[in-house]
Amino acid sequence: MSRFASRGLVRSSLVLAAAVASTALVAPASTAVPGIADEAAGASAAAPTGTERRCAVVYFDLGETLVHTADDGSTSYLPDASAYLRALRERHIEVGLVTNVPSSWGRTDAERAARLKSEVDAGWTGSAPFAWDDFGDRIITPRTETERKPAPVLWERAKAGSGGCRLVYEAETGEETDVAASLGYLAYQVGRPHRPAYLPARLIELLAHLPR
């Protein structure tokens, strides 16, 4: 953590504030989380204590956020998705999925995740397999049909299991990013013109290291 102390923390805070402000200028109102830019700008006032946990978890929707299903049922990464997951992996930023699947696919998240993996893999046409290992057990799915997004339950469950890390949610629909933002996530709507395909990994890394 020492590399973020002193002048390094000040510099990182200013970069983050500028990056968030830039993103807010081109993003729809639904993607903005009030106070993040202000928090970044003022981060230089507090130095790391060495005891706080500094981390972030990036949760995604799956379909049309990370993967695309074609008319013939085949599935592959969306452009930039594989590289983006790799960039997060290289920065040791944990990732998860908050995604709707039929609640009948299993009694537990693990059972439903196993069915989801088999469904995606069965039609996969990408040159490299989907990076399921990156997500571990952080695949949050509805236990009942009433828990399906945009009901807030899945985001609340993800938040409860985050270990106090800062939370990011990325999806293709403004309705979902609105709900996530209302629950304290930094929410980013992907696939918008004139903006990065995904929230930049370096920005998330800086956000994770800001004092809370």
Q: 6-20: per-residue pLDDT in tens?
A: 333 333 343 344 445
Q: Given CA atoms 11, 90, 177, 183 in this order, what sign does their dihedral have? A: negative
Q: How far apart are CA 61 and CA 139, in angstroms?
A: 10
Q: What does the block give as tokens for 114? A: 């196993």
Q: Is residue 77 scored above 90 in pLDDT? A: yes
Helix, strand, coil shares, percent, the chain, to 5? 45, 15, 40
Q: Is residue 203 scored above 60 in pLDDT? A: yes
Q: Is residue 80 scored above 90 in pLDDT? A: yes
CATH of domain 51-208: 3.40.50.1000
pLDDT at 110: 97
Instruction: Tell me the pLDDT tens digit for each residue of 101-158.
Output: 999 999 999 999 999 999 999 999 988 999 999 999 999 999 999 999 999 999 999 9
Question: How far, rounded to the nearest angstrom, does the alpha carbon of residue 162 sit from its chain's CA centroid?
Answer: 12
Q: What does the block give as tokens for 150? A: 């945009």
